[in-house]
Structure formats: C-alpha cells, structure tokens
Structure 1
Amino acid sequence: MKTAKRARTSAFFCAAAFMAASAAAPHASATGFDERGQDYVPRERTEVDVSGYFRTRGEALYNLDLDRGLTPSGQPIFPVSQSDPTAQTLTHWDMRWRTDLRIYAPGSMVGVKARFDVLDNLTLGSLPEGVPSASLSQRSPADAVRVRRVFGELVLPFGYLAAGRMGTHWGLGMVANGGDCLDCDSGDASDRIVFATPLLGHVWAAAYDFSATGPTVPRPNQNRVIGFEPSTDVRTATFVWMNWRDEATRTRRRLAGKATAEYGAYVTHRWQGNDIPSAYLATAQPINPFANGGTGIMPRGYKATAFDAWVRLTLPFGRIEAEGVLATATIDQPSLVPGILLRDPVKSRQIGAALQSDFGRVDGVFSGGLDAGYASGDPAPGFGAVQNPNLAAPQPGDLNGTQASPRRDNRIDNFRFHSDYRIDRILFREIIGTVTDAVYARPHAQVRLLRAKSSQLSMDGAVIASSAVNASSTPSGKAPLGVEVDPSLIFEMPAFLAALDYGVLFPLSGFDNTVANLTAKPAQLIRLRLNYLF
C-alpha cells in the first residue's frame, strides 16, 4: 500500500513543481520567467523595496459531508463533529502575514529577493496559553516564520542568472503555481540555478533544480553538512521557450484595438537512481538504515518527464488563455521495503488541460466568460488527490486512496491540478482537494456595482458543472459529480480588499451512498476575506 502511494506521488510530482512563466500577483517577487530582470533600472545606491499583505479569513461550512453517510472504509467524506455527528456546521478563522523583500545593489545588475510568511494559515485560537477555558493569551507556534524564498539575481547584457530558492509558476498555474494570489494557501518553490536569455524575439531558459539531497552528515569542525550518498539525490532539468509581453503593453495594445499573442512551452525531466525510504516514511520507532551493517538503500530507477504548452490571446474585447500538459513517469522498482523487490515497474501517463476566457472592455462595467478543464483519471477506486505514503489501499466507494497497487495494478494515470488553481469553493477545493479525474465547465461573470474615487464595489459569480472521467473513482460508481454556484461581493481600495464569498453545491449521483441507499444532500459555504496590503 505504501509502495503504491509512493509511486503515485512520484509520478505526479514530475509535473507539479516545475518551471515558471506567467502572470502572478503584483508583488510576486520573481515567480515566473516573465518577471525576471524586469525591475532592474540604474541606481546610485542600495535600495530596499518591501511589499506584502496581512490576510485573515473566516468561514462557516454547512453539510460538507453531504449527509450521505460513511464510505466503505468507515470515514465521512468531510470531517464531522465527534460529539455530535449530526451537527451540520463547522467554523474556522485563520491568518497570514506575507512580506516580499527586494534589495537592489548600486548599479542595475544585482539584487537579492526573499519572501517570508508569518503565522502562515494559523488557525485563530489554536494555541491557547495554559488551560483553554482560562487562557488569556496565545502561544507562538514553533514555525512562526517560514522563509519561502531567498535568491540572488544578476542581469547581464546577454541574459539573466539567478540562484537560490525561488518561486515557480507557469502559465495558468494549473501545474506549477507560485501561490501568489491573495487567497492562495501553498505555492511552489525550487532550489535552483537558472539562466535565461532573449534570442530571436523569444526568451530561452535552462534550469537545474536540487529537488532532493540526502542523507547528510556533519563536516568535521564546520557548521555545514554533506550528502554522502549521491545516488539517492533527486535532480531536475528544465528547458523553456516563450514569447511574453508585460501587462502594461497588453493593456496599451487593447486600448489601441490591437490583439496580442503570447505563448510558451517547456520540457522538464526528473530522475533518481536509488532511494532510502526510511528517511521519509513515518514509522512507530525511529529506524537506523545503517544498523547491523545494512545500507537501507533501495534501487529506484525513477524517471519522469513533462511537456507543457501555454498560449494567451489578448483581444481588444477580452482574453483567451489555455494550458495543456502531458506527464509521463516510470519507477523501475516501486518497493519501499529493503530486501523486498517487486517484479514489474510502475508507469504513469497523465494529461491535463485548462481554458480561461474573459470578455469585456478594459474598464467596463460588465465582463464574462467561460472556463473549462480536464484532468485524466485512473480506474482505481477513489480520486487519489491526497499525497500520503501511509494511506491504505482504497475500497470501491472510498473518496480517496492510492491509484496503484502492485502487482495487481501498476498504473497511475490521474492528473492533479495544483491545489492553488481554484475553480470552485466546495467540491474540488474542500471535499476532493483538487481537480483530478474530472472534466468541468465554468461560465462566470462580473459586474461593477459602484465606483467612488479610488474604491469600487463589484459582484461576480460562477456556475461549475463537473463530472468524473472514470466513474469507478466516485463514491457511487457513477460519473456526475455536481453543480456548484459561487457568487461574491468584493470591495476594493488601493491598500485593502474585502470579499464576501458564498457557495452552494448540489451534488449529483456520483456522491450517492448506494450501499446505505442515501442520496447526497446540498452543501453550503460562506467566507469573509479581509486583506490589508502594503
């Protein structure tokens, strides 16, 4: 069971964490290739630029277990109260303070950038000081400050060189997503060396990632370590080609009645020769892989390759943007138990595609469009959205579980969208966890209600209809998943944004409990988001 889960995780990870290139938040701090070098201008002295936001969110979730009873594994499809399983509403409130720091050296060539998250997604009230009922304060968590990115940049006459831990984002963010949006929860970052150069009207780039290194031991009399088993290292090489225009250029061309075409593609390859599973698998007792003369090393033979293409067409009256990916992987030896080898390799072929569109004037009162997406599936039970090497093999009717179970099933073909690529508020975001083994259509619209000086009030809404690619993955064995309606009321100022979100999911036959003869019931969500920007 652990073997199958490891195989699924490895196969998808080839596509899930690689190169970056498209639009992000205003202070993304070099998340994509399109941003690299754009902010370097002549400077007479060292300059420091600080930006970011403080975010707090409160929400109430009603009936997200859909009143459809337990899965065959004895679990609800969404957490419920243990003291009163019939209770319908759960509440939550959290916060995050994010800071992007940019330091520019004198001249116009060198800079260092960093991102810090403080109290990242911390649940309010989760760390009471002392007895909860008598608490007058909250403790600081052990990881109160998380360093997300630190890297250096050098802009040369013939290109751009960066090294360190940097954000990654590509295209729509369907595969690699920097997590730069105000409502994002995670975000990809890679320990990387990258070089990019303009040539023949395009950007060409190559990157080398230190995806995993270890195990390590201390060096004599030094405050450093060294990896002593190079064969277990995981490395990634990526090559990118793209044509890109900045936001100001696109807007200027729209106002002039001109269309702007942008496009790009990348190929990325990841590999690992050997592995030491005891270094990362959870066990009841600590394991010394080198005890009794053993090495703990397992042959792995992991090879994964992803091909991604992205295109954006900005028209005088709107935008059409699409991304597609093909990811393949082979794990020659999927076993995680030293001394126990499996005969057959685990293989994967995953396909994902997403479309976004918006139509309306640049500063118009009304806009709308249609989004759509596809994520290939796997006939194994469950959606396979959650990564956890310790998950048990799923039974037919379970919501989640491993997608390979050697030697009976050696395929992992379910593609997973990045968790920060959001298309809804309940079904994929909360219940399943991401878009996988599914196809969806999402018509949407936005209207500006009021504008006064530098602030405005707007309303947007979307309807999402979805179905499973493989009916065997759903709890009932039927393909239709649901129809969700998601309206929002949004108030914006230059340094403040507040949004009141609502969602209602009408589940379809895919979530019915055929064993207990229970029909899935609607779920609702309401969320208040407050963002203070600086």
Structure 2
Amino acid sequence: MNNSLLFRCLVTALLVCATSSAYAQDTPATQDSAEPAAAADTPSADVPAPSDEAEDADAEEGDADEDGAGEDGVADEDRAGEDGVEEEAVAPALVDEDAEPTPENTGKAIIAPPPKTSPIADLAKASSNDEFVPLEDLDEAVLQSITPAKVYPFVDWSGSFRLRNAYKKNFDLDTFGTSAVPPPVEQYTPPNDQTTTPVDAEADTLWSTDMRLRLEPEINITESLRLHVEADLLDNIVLGTQQGNIERFGVAGVDKSQPIIKVNEAWAEIDVLSATFRAGRMDDQWGLGIFANDGDCFSCRVENPIDRLSLTIPVWEFYARLTADFPADGLATAPLTFAGQAYDAGQIDDVDQYTLAIFHQARTRQDRELRAHRLQVEKKPVFDGGLYFTYRTQRGFFQPNSGADAGELDRLDQGTLTYRGMQMYIPDLWFEMMYNPEPDMLLRVSLEAIGVFGNIDNAGTDPVGVSDDNDAVNCFDADTFAANEAICTSTGTGSDRKDASTTLSQFGVALESELYMGGPVRFGLNGGFASGGAERNWGFQSDASGHINSRGRAAMQFYRFSPNYQVDMILFREVIGTVTNAYYAKPWAQVRFFESPASRMEIQLDAIFSAAADPAGTPSAVVVDEISSGGNSLLGLEFDAAARYIESDQFQAELAGGILFPFAGLEPQINSQRLVPYGDQPLQYGQTFAPSFAWTIQANLNWHF
C-alpha cells in the first residue's frame, strides 16, 4: 500500500472529524436558531446539492469505508491507486485546516448534523405549539405558580383563629336605652332585695375578650368532585365562660347559649363539562357585601349561610349562576322515635327563593392570572361586576298557640296557618374598576346598589281573614282572596280593623374608593346610604324581657346593611347594630412602612360623619299616639385609628381605637321608647337625656391558614 496515500487519507479523516465536532458544539439547541448556520453551509450554485439517493449512496459508501473494503473486497485506497487518481489532488499542502469543510475541499457535500435537542423538548413540541423553555430558564415567580400533581383523594385545610380584646367606654351614651349596648349591670342592679340602689351608678365600662377557631377543610374526592365544611369551635366565646370551671369560691360564669362546635357550612360540588353544580348549606358573597356577605373578614361577627342548590355556567367572559334557595321551610317535625327522620310538615308556610346572577369576576386561577396580566403587564383597567337578582315569596306562616305543649306530633295542630301573601323582588347591581398604569399608581372604585321591592298582604303576626260578621275567610284560596281582598289584608273587625298590608320600597348604596400615587400614603373616600322610615329606634322595639323585635309593617321601609359590612367601630357597629336609615361619608388615609413582599406595617385614620335619612326614625323623634314625627337628622362624628402588622395575609395584629361624638339625633325625647330595657325603669322615657361621647380601645390577633 502506498504510504503517502494512506497518510493523506488519515489527515483528511481527522479534519472531517474535527470540523464536525466543532460544528456540533457551536450549533444552538433549537431548530429555529440552527437555521442561519445551516444556510451558511448551503452548497454553492455551481455544485448541485445531493439528492436523497445520493445521500443514501454516501451512507452506504460510508459503511463500506468503515468495513475497510468495497463490494469486491478490494481496499479503497488500493482501488484509488489502481484507478489512476493523482496523489497531488489530495495532497496535505493543499488542505486548509482552518477552513470550513465544503464540497470544494472535501470532494463531497457536507451534511449538517441535527441540532442538539432533549427528549423533553421533543415532547413539548409534539404536544403544544408553545416554545419550550428549559427549566433552568424559568423565572422564579413562574416556578412558584406551578401546582404539583395531586393524588386523589386529598384534603385542603384552611381556617383561622382570632383573639379579640375590647375596652368599651360609655357605649350606652348615657341615654339609658337608645343604644343597642346596655350599660354595665352594676349601674342598675342592686346588691340585695332590701334596696333599689345600684351597686355602682357611675359604672360605664365594658371590657371583655373573646376567641374563635374556625376550620374549613375541603375534601377533594376527584378533580371534579369536592366537599367543603366550615365549622367554628368556641364561636366568639367570651373568655372566662368555659364549662365546668370550678374555682375555690364557686363556679365561674358559664355561657350555655353558645354551642362548643357550630357547623356553618356543609356543601358538595361537582364539575360537569364546563358547569359547576353545588348543593348544601353554603356561604353567599356578592359585591361589597351590603346584602349577601359570607362573614369571612377578620372582624366579621355573624354567619349567615344559606341552604341552596346552585348551578354556575361560564358564558363567554361572564358567569351565570342560577340557584334554588331554602331561606325558611316553616314548621318541621322533630326526629320521630319510630321513624327517625325529621321532615318539612307542609309547603304552604315555606319561604321560596330563586336567584339569578350574571357577573364578571375572577373565580378560577386562570381568571386571576389573566386579570393580573391585563392589569400589570398590559397596563389596562380591569372591570368586574354584575347583576344579582332574587325573587322571594311566602304564602303563609305557622302561628303556634301561646302556651301550647309542643310535642313531636301534637304540636302540628297546636296553632294556625296564618296568611302572609309575600312577594319580593331584589335586584343588586355591583361594579368595580381597578387601574394600575404605573407601579406607583393605583385607582380602585367599587359601587354596590340594591333595591327591595314588592308587597306583603299581612306584614304582621296577627291572623287576617275575619269578616265584620266574624265569618272566616280562607285567604289562601286565590278566588276567595280576590273576592275578599280588603278582609285578607287587614286585622280585626268593624271599627277596630287595621290595614296589615305594606308595599316594599327599600334602597341601599355603598361606595368604596382607593387612590395611590406613590410613596407610603394611600387614601380614599367611602360613603353609603340606607333607606329608612318614620318609626323610632330604627324600626325596632323591645319588650319588658329585653327581646328586640322589628315593629312589623312600620319597619319594612328600613333597609339594613349586612352587619358584617362594617363602616366604623362604635356608632353603626355597636350602638345601632348596622347601617340603616342613614347616610355617611368616610374619608380615610393609610400609611404603609417596612413594606416587603411578605409583610408590612400600616397606620390607618378614618373619619365618619353620619346623619339620618328620615329623622322620624331616630330616638329623637317625637311620639304621639304611637306615631313618630319630627326628630333631628344629625347622628354623630366618629374618628377611628388603627395600627396593624400584616404578614402574607396569614397573620394580622391590630391595635385600634375610636371615639364617637353623638349629635342630637341620638337624644331621646319624652314618651320615646327605649331600644333596650334599663333596669326596672319603664320602657317609655319620662325625660330627655343629652348623649355623651363614647370611646374604645381594642386589640385583635388573627391567624389564617
């Protein structure tokens, strides 16, 4: 064998291997980025590109070269010499070691090797049109949003624990009965039965601490089947009222009215196609919460769940929800010893309710991500809102006989079915806009407006349907009612007949706003309005035993915000109980400092001015023959302040205080009736009292998980 020819072949092979190795190292990982390099290696116009057959032939030729012999068993180098190929054509001196291999310097077309890829990249390209991003190139925020795979069934645990301490000074306003908060018992309770002098007539301080542990497990049976439970353990229990706390000198105070465990919600949910069906006892939240409020806020006091069947369907960019509700089922039996199952004793006394809601709101994780992208990346305003419409009806109610012994079966006929004739239409509009054009600028405006319309043929508790001749009229029958409408909408007979019907016309509006323009300060203006009527003490009255009740049809014009929608610390939250027969304006400012993604501290200042919508519905109304008139519309001016430490919405420590300066609208007049009893004093006032200011300091700790 010619040694020089063997040497030239060896050098050529080494150059090809080195060039291929360098090309592979410089080739990007994706096909798209490899296109420029492949274009640079495209054969020139004077050298035709190899066809598929030529590539196959080269491959076969390569296999033969690898075996060291051709089809006839003769070595390639020997065959080349025998065919007369000139050695100078491939002389080492003519080879440029730094040049790219081309058809001109290799004698054949160079085929670019495929770019480096990973099996994961191939899988991603095969299953999606999105560009594959390696794990190491993902942003940390994106990695945190990746949800790990779940193994069904599993339980998602959430809940909260709170501890509240409140020091309340003069919450009865020194009016002895116009406030829903009575004075301390030592102010009007004597030490023994030999005197009427109270233990401490100057006492005006209430100080207590309460706690609540709430557990909200969600049992995920499959991806589309879920069960949810909300239970309160020691629901707002006042510390020191524990059961069986026997001390040396007796038993500590025991509050037996509160159950140790109270189940608020229990519902099941299933996803069918794109719809979601839910059934059971569940919370109900809509808009700002002046009507439907789930009571899940840090300072919420009451739970108001609803029993319902609910179907939610996505419609374009909106959601539609239709529900069949069970607000009240009237008379129901106790569990029978021989049957074991309680049941609804009749349908004619049921309250039937149906709700339709059409809304735009972020409900799913995808909704929230799209909303955040539009707000923070596209710098466009985000709009939420919708219509919540409720239709409610009741034909009658069961009126038990006074003093009747309510047994398991005997009580079913120990009373009368009283005609009610109620129809209510409740539209609730909600709108919210948020705009975040710059990192240091934010504008948020929220508005909710509600109206309650309808009529009630018998708004009281006394039965109707007795003619002047004492003939009974069955008002439940439609034809009979049409022929005796005046009798079916009034009580009594003859000259004592009184109209019992009423027309409903209630209104409520709440506005919230927030403006942030950089720096540590945020501020806004909130406001609200709730309709009222000419009925003293906000349409409420109390009896000698201290029970506070609505005054029937006279109170039907008072719209009342949900007590969980809290505006202040004293007047609406405690003295009145909620926003009703009033309008208010609340400018506020908040300063944030030591702010980080995980925690912050803040100080908030509020000022609340309030006045009555109808002065005749305040304690200052003049009462003549049970008819309220006059009165003063000014209610009060309150200043509240709070300092908070917040950590990732999972912990909040708050120290808050407030002071209320009551105005003349809270000053009781002679012959006005007390809202709450005051010792052994009569329910009616014998003199006027000027209200004095009240103040409070409260400390609250809240844990969420």
After TM superposition, the score normalised by the length of structure 2 is 0.62
Shift of 1:468: 0.2
Q: Does 1:439 align with 2:560?
A: no
Q: 2-side partners of 1:215 and 1:189: how far apart? A: 20
Among 234, 239, 246, the alignment partner of 2:356 is 239
Among 150, 154, 168, the alignment partner of 1:47 is 154
Among 228, 245, 258, the alignment partner of 2:380 is 258
Q: Deviation string for 1:261-312 (max 9, x for gaps)?
A: 1120021111111210229xxx666467967976521111122120100000
Shift of 1:228: 2.9
Among 334, 345, 360, the alignment partner of 2:501 is 345
Secondary structure in structure 1 of the residue aligned to 2:538? coil
Q: Which residue of 2 aligns with 1:508?
A: 663
Q: Which residue of 1 aligns with 2:389?
A: 267
Among 281, 297, 305, the alignment partner of 2:417 is 297
Q: Does 1:417 align with 2:549?
A: no
Quote the sequence identity (%): 28
Q: Which residue of 2 aligns with 1:474?
A: 618
Q: Which residue of 1 aligns with 2:428?
A: 308
Q: Deviation string for 1:293-347 (max 9, x for gaps)?
A: 7652111112212010000001112210000001023221234345776254122
Q: Does 1:334 align with 2:466?
A: no
Q: 1-side partners of 2:697 and 2:288: how far apart? A: 26
Relative distance call for 1:163 and 1:379 in structure 2 (3 A) is same
Q: What is the 5 A alignment of 1:335-374?
A: 335-338=460-463, 342=491, 343-360=499-516, 365-374=520-529
Shift of 1:250: 4.0
Q: What is the 5 A alignment of 1:380-395?
A: 380-384=535-539, 391=543
Q: 1-side partners of 2:148 and 2:330: how far apart? A: 40
Relative distance call for 1:511 and 1:294 in structure 2 (3 A) is closer
Shift of 1:496: 2.2
The answer to whether the 8 A contact 2:156-2:218 is kept is yes
Q: Deviation string for 1:411-456 (max 9, x for gaps)?
A: 7211100000000000000100000000000111111132467332
Equivalent position amino acid for 2:357 in 1? V
Question: Please, which runs of 5 or more residues in structure 2 have no aligned partner?
Answer: 1-145, 189-198, 437-441, 467-489, 492-498, 621-630, 671-686
Q: Which residue of 1 aligns with 2:574?
A: 430
Q: Which residue of 1 aligns with 2:238?
A: 123
Q: 1-side partners of 2:250 and 2:169: how far apart? A: 29
Q: Does 1:187 align with 2:303?
A: yes
Q: 2-side partners of 1:519 and 1:224: how far apart? A: 56
Q: 2-side partners of 1:120 and 1:404: how far apart? A: 31
Q: Which residue of 2 aligns with 1:199?
A: 315
Q: 2-side partners of 1:41 and 1:510: how far apart? A: 59
Q: Deviation string for 1:180-212 (max 9, x for gaps)?
A: 101111132111111111113211111001222
Structure (1 or 2) with the larger CA radius of gyration? 2
Equivalent position amino acid for 1:471 in 2? P
Relative distance call for 1:366 and 1:95 in structure 2 (3 A) is same
Q: 1-side partners of 2:332 and 2:147: how far apart? A: 38
Question: Please, which runs of 5 or more residues in structure 1 have no aligned partner?
Answer: 1-38, 395-399
The answer to whether the 8 A contact 1:380-1:404 is kept is no
Equivalent position amino acid for 2:375 in 1? R
Secondary structure in structure 2 of the residue aligned to 1:172? coil
Q: Deviation string for 1:230-269 (max 9, x for gaps)?
A: 1111111011111123555444433332101112002111
Among 594, 604, 608, the alignment partner of 1:464 is 608
Q: What is the 5 A alignment of 1:106-145?
A: 106=222, 108-127=223-242, 129=244, 134=249, 143-145=259-261
Q: Does 1:488 align with 2:642?
A: yes
Relative distance call for 1:119 and 1:364 in structure 2 (3 A) is farther
Equivalent position amino acid for 2:527 in 1? A
Q: Does 1:450 align with 2:572?
A: no
The answer to whether the 8 A contact 2:404-2:414 is kept is no
Q: 2-side partners of 1:242 and 1:139: how far apart? A: 46
Q: Deviation string for 1:100-122 (max 9, x for gaps)?
A: 1111123x211111101010011
Equivalent position amino acid for 1:102 in 2? E
Q: 2-side partners of 1:211 and 1:76: how far apart? A: 26
Shift of 1:497: 1.2
Q: 2-side partners of 1:131 and 1:422: how far apart? A: 38
Secondary structure in structure 2 of the residue aligned to 1:118? strand
Q: 1-side partners of 2:704 and 2:274: how far apart? A: 36
Secondary structure in structure 2 of the residue aligned to 1:232? coil
Secondary structure in structure 1 of the residue aligned to 2:348? helix
Equivalent position amino acid for 1:86 in 2? E
Shift of 1:45: 1.8
Q: 1-side partners of 2:255 and 2:565: how far apart? A: 30
Equivalent position amino acid for 2:640 in 1? D
Q: Deviation string for 1:85-110 (max 9, x for gaps)?
A: 3212111110000111111123x211
Q: 1-side partners of 2:701 and 2:227: how far apart? A: 30
Q: Which residue of 1 aligns with 2:173?
A: 66
Q: 2-side partners of 1:185 and 1:303: how far apart? A: 30
Instruction: Number of aligned residue pairs: give it.
Output: 475
Q: CA RMSD for the aligned pairs?
A: 3.0
Q: 1-side partners of 2:405 and 2:504: how far apart? A: 32
Relative distance call for 1:430 and 1:521 in structure 2 (3 A) is same
Relative distance call for 1:109 and 1:92 in structure 2 (3 A) is same
Relative distance call for 1:453 and 1:138 in structure 2 (3 A) is farther
Q: 2-side partners of 1:56 and 1:222: how far apart? A: 43
The answer to whether the 8 A contact 1:381-1:403 is kept is no
Structure with greater strand share of residues: 1
Equivalent position amino acid for 2:574 in 1? E
Relative distance call for 1:181 and 1:449 in structure 2 (3 A) is same
Shift of 1:66: 1.8
Q: 2-side partners of 1:513 and 1:270: how far apart? A: 36
Q: 2-side partners of 1:186 and 1:133: how far apart? A: 35
The answer to whether the 8 A contact 1:382-1:401 is kept is no
Q: Which residue of 2 aligns with 1:528?
A: 699
Q: 2-side partners of 1:450 and 1:439: how far apart? A: 36
Equivalent position amino acid for 1:378 in 2? G
The answer to whether the 8 A contact 2:608-2:638 is kept is yes
Which protein, 1 or 2, shows the higher relative CO under an 8 Å CA cutoff with sep ≥ 6? 1
Relative distance call for 1:485 and 1:273 in structure 2 (3 A) is same
The answer to whether the 8 A contact 2:241-2:255 is kept is no
The answer to whether the 8 A contact 2:246-2:252 is kept is no
Q: Deviation string for 1:72-92 (max 9, x for gaps)?
A: xxx886333333232121111
